[in-house]
Structure 1
Amino acid sequence: WSNEMLIVDENENVSFLGVIPYLFGTSEGLKLSYAGDVGDLPKLFDQPGTDELFFVSLNMTDAEEIAGSTSGERTSVVITGFDLGNETKFSQLELEFIDWMDDKAKAGLYDVSVRDIKTSIIESSESASENVAGFFLVFGSFTVVAGILLVINIFVMLAEERKSSMGMLRALGMQRPEMRAMFVFEGSLLSIISSAIGSLVGIFVAFLISLGFKITFSSLNSDFVFYWSYSSLIAGFAIGFIITWVTLWLTSWRNSRLNVVAALRDLPTNNNSTFSWLWILVSLGLFSGSIFFGILLFILDSESEMLHASWMMVGYLTILGTMPILGILLHYFVKPRFKIFNFNFSRDSILPKVLMTICAVSLLLWTSIPESIDTVRGSYEETRYSFIPLGIFSVAAGVLILTSIAPMIARILGRSGILVKQFGPVISTALAYPLSKPLRSSLVVGMFSLTIFSVVVLAGFSAQFETYSNSFVDDAQGEFELLGTGSLERPLDLESDVENWPWPENHSGNEFDAISLLHFNYVRISDQVDEQSTYKELKNNASRYYIRGIDENFANHGGLPLVAWDESLAKSEKEIWQLVSENEIFVIVDSAFAMTYNMDENENGIQLGDVLVLHNYNNMAIEKEVIVVGVLKEGSLLSLGGIFAQDDLAIQYFGAEPTRIMFSIPDDKTIDEMKDLSKELETSFVDYGMQVYVIEEEVIEIQSLIFAIFSIFKAFLALGLIVGIAGLGVVTMRSVSERQHQTGVLRALGFEKRMILFGYLLELTWISLLGMINGVLIAILFHYQLYRVFWSEQGAIFTMPWAEISLFVFGAFLLVLLFTALPIRKASQIHPAEALRQIV
């Protein structure tokens, strides 16, 4: 047996009676002895309802006797071996096998097809896993970029700390390539160790994530198995090492270009705005990247998920490539000193801020240009991979704007009379250091922005879905609360008189507000009647879906909520349902079918008034033209989906069988009373194999499952945020060590320990809050764009989880204080004499 629903003791006799012999009057079946369980068998594709069947492994002769077939008569043939996973070999076997069947059994006259079942199962599983992996890839990419910024920051700090020794090496004859090689070699050793550790930790994190999925799906009796391979471990190590190594090489290029004299004397680097040939090379590199993504638009398949992302990259890289050229032009055409509205400006100080502002505004404009203006963008569908460049460059634009205006804000705060009176020189002193290191400050702000951005976007999406799905219970049940289910193989063949149904004790049909018996079967769908095509051509060109026949009780009780209906035919939803139940030419379709079925190359799906041709699933010659007059709300898919038509039409034309019963109960019943009633009904109707569900409970369980998955993703992103904060702790430790002499000078000038402590806290608060605020603001704008594209058309209200966002920001700030508490305390304990002592 492959089904555990039937409990049979070993060696117990079981009687089997086939449908055909039963119809011909045979009442006694063939008795067989139960030998054991053979486990689960794979579901055959295109075979509806096999989940509720009992599969039996038995002798072929006995099977022929039970089925009432002649010797050698078969309905299915299973073939294995011959390396049929190879698509070419399978296609060749398919052609030869069909020819052989046609020669031996005239198979061409019947509905015979060959299906690659194992490959279909594998492809279905791979598709599901790729969707989950793609989600982690999209949101994990922000964490990866934040890690890259952290690596750059650390090695820039190391270079500045060793500036004197580097200047001495350069003075002794070391060339820039040799210095770059030294940095890369040193960093490579560290990256090998860190990549190895990171790969092992990644496997552990993957185990925790799989454990979360296993707990989540346990309510559905599904098993989520954790699996890893050495190839994935090696791939993670290699990718991590390559990303780190490339980052090191680019950072070493910057570190090797130091001024020898300034380095020997430990003087600050002169960050002037001198433009050289290097800017031209950077510009050419960015334009080359833009051209590369432009070429991808012509190379990639029209259904590729990378098209929209490639087009966005064309714009982003073009904007970035234009900035160096614009900077060179402004550098040569703007005077070193100029005056605007009686305000004096220096070209070298104002030009970088102007360029950063122009660049940031251009990036944000390119991100938010509507499809009506950018028609190329409108021709490509936004996919999950589009969110990677959209998110990264939006956050980068925010960082550029903050870098431009941060000095002005700091200057205002430093000169505030109230703050100066309260805290003295601590504020201006604390903010002076991050302003003197704009690159390092920008890297930390960007790191925080990316991690906060990803968490807030996911939280916003989760909250928006929660708001949108609040109506799913009403959409799924309408005015009905209980759903009884059967199957095509075992339909609910009940009497027409409800009172004669096998009701539980102390219950009857009169207790319900309404009872509706729905009929179900599969149909084939085409756009128009085609009398010239062959049966095989009709079958190949038709789509497959299912039809539900509704009775008057279902319509008179309001049916299910509709998102749209033909108001020229009916003024209310109830009237349109009654119209469908009384006329066989009208149908109502669910939202999934309406969106995915394309009429005559129309990619907008089905519209009200469209004509469909429904064919009998087993006999394409039986067909019926119907008109779409309504579309169900999306939540109805959680209980009933399909093409809703008149009961008689579904039964007579398409052989629909009764498989669903909708029960409407009085409003005074609680959810617990509904559960008890559903169990009683299930027990009472056991001879019909009917299972009864409380629709509200089932919908809430599905919603809980989705929210649990969102929680797993948020936990994964929160882990990246914690790693970023831990990185800030490392950066703070290096900063305290680097500024030990400066701290000693401040102590010698009269700064007390508490002032040093408060100064470092203020500095960290300034940097971290800038990053958090930027991440939150960009995430809100980004989420609004998602809402405008995906949710506004559904009538959903814009929603942001403000309490959750505040909790994230507050929690992240507390973690910042926690991870930096030790180095800050160490800095406040520095003694002036110890710090000012010069040790060679």
Structure 2
Amino acid sequence: MLISNRGGATAGATLSDDVVVLLNPVAKELGLEVQTLKKDAIEDADAAGAAFIAFFTTFGTFSIAAGILLIFLIFVMLAAERRGELGIARAIGTRRGHLVEMFTFEGAAYDLVAAAVGAILGAVVAFGMVIVMANAFGAADADEGLQIQFAVSARSLLIAFAIGLLLTLVVVAFSAWRVSVMTISTAIRNLPEPSAPKRRRRLVLALVGVAIGLGLVFLGLSGDTATPVMLGVSLVLMSLVPLLRVAGVPERLAFTSCGIAVVVFLMLPWRYLESIFGTLAMDFSTWIVSGLMIVVGTVWVIVFNADLLLGAVMRVFGRIHALAPVLRMSMAYPLRARFRTGTTLAMFTLVVFTLVTGSVSNGSFVKSISVDDYGGGFKVRAGTVGAAPVADMGGALKSAPGIRPEDIASVGSQSVLAVEAKQLRTDRGYESYLVRGLDPSFLEHTTFGMGGLARGYGSAREVWDAVRDRPGLAVVDSFIVPRRDKFNFGVPPDFALTGFYFEEGQFEPIPIEVLDKQTGNTTKLTVIGILKDSAPFEMVGISTSQRTLTSAFPGRTQPTIHYFGLAPGVDPEDTAAKLESAFLANGLEAQSIQQVVDDNVAASMTFNRLIQGFMGLGLIVGVAALGVISARAVVERRQQIGVMRAIGFRRQMVQAAFLLESSFVALTAIIVGTALGLLLSWNIIDDQRQQPSWENLQIHVPWLNLFVIFLVVYAVALLATLAPAARASRIRPAEALRYQ
């Protein structure tokens, strides 16, 4: 019986709770159960949507950070180009506030157009991503499973537009305030700002940074959360730079030592950090903070030691006489313009770092899926319709047409029942979940591993034997078990256990109660095992013996899912086809576990490549930065270019110098970002190996994919620099030296 509420397609679901209250008395008299299908579906869809938002926001944070740096850099360079004009404006009475307003209004004009275009392009990119995800998961037109369809609303576009507009305006306003600070006389003559005494300011900055950092560490330790601790310690280490400068430590040594300290601290295996700070809960914000701080520390080290890098390059390539002068000139400008070089390097490195870390960590988990883990020792999985179950699959196989009994090594069956469940000795009520009845053959032959064991049990085999031999014992999936770390994006089930964490590996046996709402029967079960994360969806639920389930809910459980172990050399695909033919009347559908794993891996790899493409969009920011800097460098260095041409540099040498300059930034960012990404990925994999479900996890690096991506990016970066480099090479010495 289907009942529709008042309201539209979705608004009517808000009345579901009231309708349930009205229907329950009548439904109980008729022996019916009221289910809020649309409300539950909408809540699941909202949760899944929130999960995707969190996922893409997490991976997009680094690209957003790179974009912020690019905006800041553009306005700083814009101000540098107009420095003389701004100095004259200040000299005739313009106040600093007017300069800030002028730059802010100019930035707002660009911002309005860019935010509108960005919102539209974002919707176009999202449309393409939805198509890829729908095809990857194979559920775009399915009746069940995760269905992904493109949907866009004016409200969503307006929110995206507003967020982009406001974020950019904040960056523009800060940039405008920074460039408004100038000495009028030096600005008019376009000379560098005189260095003012900074001892007191450095001391205040250091003390404030240390105080904030220690406060964050205390906040994190009191709440057992890792993100404030990581950020706090990083701020304390970075705040040591002004303290060291006050103490007279050279600039290079101060920035290099503190940058290395930040990188080493954040790159330490997390189990070592736990020995210092205790067990802390981590989530994706921990990765974001760690990544940003790691890149900042690394850029400090590179920028303040770039001359050493130049020396190493010259020792390797300096013997090539035609290349030596070009190399030296190409490195001179990045060494002199530390801020611009560091900012551009940070942009590029951030995105490369994110791309490598996401690709390697996701790919490693995908590659870890195996038939043995996913199939639990079986090779073929089959399901029948509920109206025509096969009560005794083992017996039916003996007379099934086309099936050779000797090809089947084992048969395991399970029944599934939708129930309400609650954990006893807690204040939580009943929540919807599934209970599965496993027959003796399944319990005897399964090899599904355990991520958690109740005290008194030493292995998964002991748990399965106990469930088979002792009624009332059960195993649950890992989705309903709380975790300290929040690295999951899935939709959590309503029913959940409490009182321990999955990472602990061992727990006291947990009493739960299961209610069949249709009959009102209840039964008590004791959870003694938690399945590994690698268990398939077909094992989600509370798994107990078929004997226990039949005794508690007679007439309500019939086996509809069957697993088949095969003799050596028997083809699973062929066996699945024969099973479907033999049990056609039962509506049986069979699949090879290997085929299921292959399909899942293919879908996951497609999604992984989608993430690579999504994060790769951020590389456009780095390429744009190189183009902007190169274009500005041609204007700034016009006279230098004239001198170079006058002393014998040919046009090709000038062009090569600009291209090598961009190559230095791009290649350094690619190499450093890749190295940092691999180190952090190894950290993630190493940490997961300590978890109960992933002891055999191995790192997998998609070298070919990364090589192709970075090769294309490097080529595009050179193309972005090619036009400014060609323009620089066409500058005539006489014109350049007369240029004012």
TM-score normalised to the size of structure 2? Answer: 0.84
- Give, in whole Å, the separation in 2 of the partners of 1:212 and 1:88: 32
Matched, 1:244 2:168: yes
Displacement after TM superposition at 1:774 (Å): 2.5
Q: How does 1:124-139 map to 2 (within 5 A)?
A: 124-139=44-59
Distance 1:111 1:614, change over 3 A: farther
Give the superposition deviation at 1:700: 1.8
Matched, 1:265 2:161: no
- 1:748 counterpart = 2:637: no
Deviation at 1:813, TM superposition (A): 1.7
- SS of 1:636's partner is coil
Higher RCO structure (Cα 8 Å, ≥6 apart): 2
Deviates more, 1:739-748 or 1:81-90: 81-90
In the alignment, does 2:197 pair up with 1:274? yes
Q: Deviations over 1:606-628 (max 9, x none)?
A: 73773645646357776455573
Of 60, 63, 72, 1:143 maps to 63
Q: Which residue does the alignment assign to 1:701?
A: 599
Residues 754 and 290 of structure 1: CA distance in aligned 2, closer, same or farther (over 3 Å): same
What is the aligned partner in structure 1 of residue 673 from structure 2? 775
1:747 CA drift (Å): 0.2
For 2:368, give the aligned amino acid. Answer: Y
Check whether the contact 2:66–2:346 (CA below 8 A) recurs between aligned residues: yes
- 2:477 is aligned with 1:477: no
CA distance in 1, matches of 2:111, 2:453: 64
Per-residue deviation at 1:206?
Answer: 1.8
Return closer, same or farther for 1:115/1:582 CA change in 2, 3 Å cut-off: closer
Against the structure 1 CA distance between its residues 601 and 375, is the aligned structure 2 distance closer, same or farther, given a 3 Å change threshold? farther
Q: Of residues 741, 759, 762 in structure 1, which corresponds to 2:657?
A: 759
**More moved, 187-196 vs 592-601:** 592-601
Match of 1:551, as an amino acid? P
CA distance in 2, matches of 1:180, 1:160: 14
Q: Which residue of 2 aligns with 1:724?
A: 622
- Structure 2: tracts of 5 or more residues without a match: 484-494
SS in 2 for 1:491: coil
Structure 1 CA distance for aligned equivalents of residues 632 and 181 of structure 2: 22
CA contact (8 A) 1:164 1:266 kept: yes
The CA deviation at 1:145 is 1.1
Structure 1 residues 613 and 126, CA gap change in structure 2 (3 angstroms)? closer
d(CA) in 2 for partners of 1:352, 1:253: 28
RMSD: 4.2
The alpha carbon displacement at 1:563 in A equals 4.3
Q: CA deviation at 1:636?
A: 3.2
**Which residue is 2:411 aligned to?**
515
Q: Which amino acid aligns with 2:179?
A: N
**Residues 106/231 of structure 1: CA separation in 2 closer, same or farther (3 Å cut):** closer
- Helix, strand or coil at the partner of 1:497: helix
- Deviates further, 753-762 or 261-270: 261-270
1:790 aligns to what? 688
1:650 matches 2:549: yes
In the TM superposition, residue 381 of structure 1 has moved relative to its aligned partner by: 2.6
Q: CA deviation at 1:707?
A: 1.9
Specify the code of the residue in structure 2 equivalent to 1:224. I
Residue of structure 1 in register with 2:491 after alignment: none
| Fraction of identical pairs, as percent | 23
Alignment of 1:836 with 2:725, yes or no, is: no
Counterpart in the other structure of 2:701: 800
Q: 1:443: Cα distance to partner?
A: 0.6
One of 430, 434, 456 as aligned partner of 2:356: 456
Change (3 A) 1:243 1:376: farther
Tell me which moved more, 571-580 or 733-742.
Answer: 571-580
Describe the shift of the 1:413–1:812 C-alpha distance in structure 2 as closer, same or farther (beyond 3 A).
same
Q: Are 2:334 and 1:434 equivalent residues in the alignment?
A: yes
Match of 1:384 in 2: 284
AA partner of residue 403 (structure 2):
H
In the alignment, structure 1 residue 540 sits paired with structure 2 residue 441: no
Query: Could you tell me which of 153, 164, 167 is aligned with 2:87?
Result: 167
C-alpha distance in structure 1 between counterparts of 2:413 and 2:15, whole Å: 48
* 1:560 and 2:447 aligned: yes
**Residue 511 to residue 189, structure 1, CA distance change in 2 (3 Å):** closer
1:312 to 1:746, Cα distance in 2 relative to 1, 3 A = same
The count of residues paired between Structure 1 and Structure 2 equals: 718
> Which amino acid letter does the alignment assign opposite residue 683 of structure 2?
Q
> What is aligned with 1:822?
723
Q: Is the 8 A contact 1:461 1:783 kept in 2?
A: yes
CA offset digits 1:84-111 (Å, max 9, x no partner): 979998777877x48xx66xx796x999
Letter in 2 for 1:168: I
Moved more, 311-320 or 81-90: 81-90
**Partner residue, 2:440:** 551
Alignment partner of 1:516: what SS? strand
Cα distance in 2 between the residues matched to 1:668 and 1:417: 59
Amino acid at match of 1:540: G
Q: Return the alpha-carbon distance in structure 2 between the equivalents of residues 132 and 88 of structure 1.
A: 24
Corresponding residue number in structure 1 for 2:516:
617
Distance 1:745 1:234 in 2: 52
Alignment of 1:342-741 (within 5 A): 350-351=250-251, 353-355=253-255, 357-358=257-258, 361-362=261-262, 364-365=264-265, 368=268, 370=270, 380-414=280-314, 418-419=318-319, 421=321, 423-469=323-369, 471=370, 473-486=371-384, 488=386, 490-494=388-392, 497-498=395-396, 501=399, 503-504=400-401, 506-521=402-417, 540=429, 544-552=433-441, 554=442, 558-563=445-450, 577=464, 580-584=467-471, 589-592=476-479, 601-604=499-502, 607=506, 610=509, 612=511, 615=514, 617=516, 623=523, 628=528, 632-655=531-554, 656-670=557-571, 674-741=572-639
Residue in structure 2 matched with residue 158 of structure 1 by the alignment? 78
Alignment of 1:320-359 (within 5 A): 320=238, 323-324=241-242, 326=243, 330-331=245-246, 333-334=247-248, 350-351=250-251, 353-355=253-255, 357-358=257-258
Q: Shift in Å at residue 237 of structure 1? A: 2.2
Distance 1:82 1:723, change over 3 A: closer
Once residues 403 and 759 of structure 1 are traced to their aligned partners in structure 2, the CA distance between those partners, rounded to angstroms, is: 19
In structure 2, the residue matched to 1:187 is 107
Partners of 1:516 and 1:639 lie apart in 2 by 13
Q: 1:180, CA displacement in angstroms? A: 2.5
Question: Highest CA radius of gyration, 1 or 2?
Answer: 1
Instruction: Answer whether contact 1:483 1:660 (CA < 8 A) is retained.
Output: yes
Give the residue type in structure 2 aligned to 1:814.
A
Shifted more, 563-572 versus 701-710: the winner is 563-572
1:542 Cα offset (Å): 7.8
Q: 1:390 to 1:565 in 2, by over 3 A?
A: closer
Match of 2:156, SS?
Answer: helix
Contact in 2 for aligned 1:615/1:654 (Cα 8 Å): no
What is the SS of the residue equivalent to 2:429? helix
- Classify the secondary structure of the residue corresponding to 1:224: coil
Displacement, 1:686? 2.9
| Residue of structure 2 in register with 1:206 after alignment | 126
Matched AA of 2:700: T
Deviations 1:137-166 (A, max 9, x none): 111111111111112222222222223333
Q: Residues 293 and 836 (structure 1 numbering): CA distance in 2 closer, same or farther, change over 3 Å?
A: same
